[in-house]
Structure 1
């Protein structure tokens, strides 16, 4: 594999989000007998990092909520309505870091998540995956996995609690590329 979990492969700089390889998978409990997941892709963002000062890193990512990937066309239409993501009015969600605490190849990334114009602080538990030269673009690529938990009610996302859990688990896969 071209990538390896070696942080020394990431020099100081500002890197842009690779929208083709960045996504958030959300999962809720449905009626207590199944989990339901969906996916949003990133449309932009950046990471500024200096390996000599990793706690000074800054990250921001924009996600396109108007393109919702789920297993049902009807469910996707419902998620776009004003009672859910209201994608006609709020077609994007954003995350902007406020602080980063690095411990080896893991980090806690504190920041502000904005969905439907509502901003709330969240903490992302992140893990460095790897870095290396992309064999197709010949540019440095590197990525992280992350996880966080939010509450739908805090962002004005729908109804049906307790039929659908208020708690939403987020699985985050983010890739960055050299300009």
Structure 2
């Protein structure tokens, strides 16, 4: 009964008067101190989407990303990003396909065990940025531009360290990187979505 009364009282309280918890991370770039930060591998995801036979959009994901971001909020255009993804860490919801993706038909993870992106320039406009860099995939290096958006920054209550993150996207053609298997019935264009988290070292 007491629980029901408490719920009823809360529902009757105007929303403005209710205590809404403030998230530790907020979209305030000034919270980031100048320095070099490590990729938070446990909270960084790289997803990809291809068109499958014109029937559906099919997605996969890569984990285990490592690397660094050197950044100074007062001079964001000078930021330097260097990240590496293990090719063997690419997964879908189909285990047989996961194994196939690691073969020479696709990523050839045995011969090319890593995927790497190294920035060459950053153009910042407000909370958004275009990050130009070189993507090395399947033994081929090509220029790529990431459209990035600042998500938020703040002290992580668990690690007690400064954390911040970005969301980014780009589109590549896999044939540019020597990965032509099943084109065009599995699309040449690959949409990439990135949720990147960084932490003080």
TM over 0.5: yes
- Please list, as runs of the form range in 1=range in 2, the aligned pairs for 1:1-179 lying within 5 A after superposition: 1-179=23-201
SS in 2 for 1:107: strand
The Cα shift of 1:68 comes to 1.7
1:11-68, Cα deviation, whole Å (9 max, x unpaired): 1111011111111100000011101111111431101111111101000110111012
Contact 1:83 1:156 in 2 (8 A): no
The Cα shift of 1:158 comes to 3.7
* Cα separation, 2, equivalents of 1:80 and 1:118: 16
| Rg larger in structure | 2
- In angstroms, what is the RMSD of aligned CA positions? 0.8
Contact 2:121 2:132 in 1 (8 A): yes
* Cα separation, 2, equivalents of 1:90 and 1:159: 17
Q: Which has the higher contact order (CA 8 A, sep 6+)?
A: 1
Question: Which structure has the highest helix share of the two?
Answer: 2
Normalising by the residue count of structure 1, what TM-score does the alignment of the two structures yield? 0.98
* Cα separation, 2, equivalents of 1:162 and 1:172: 25
Q: Please identify runs of 4+ aligned residues in structure 1 that moved more than 4 A.
A: none
Q: How many residues align?
A: 179
Contact 2:102 2:108 in 1 (8 A): yes
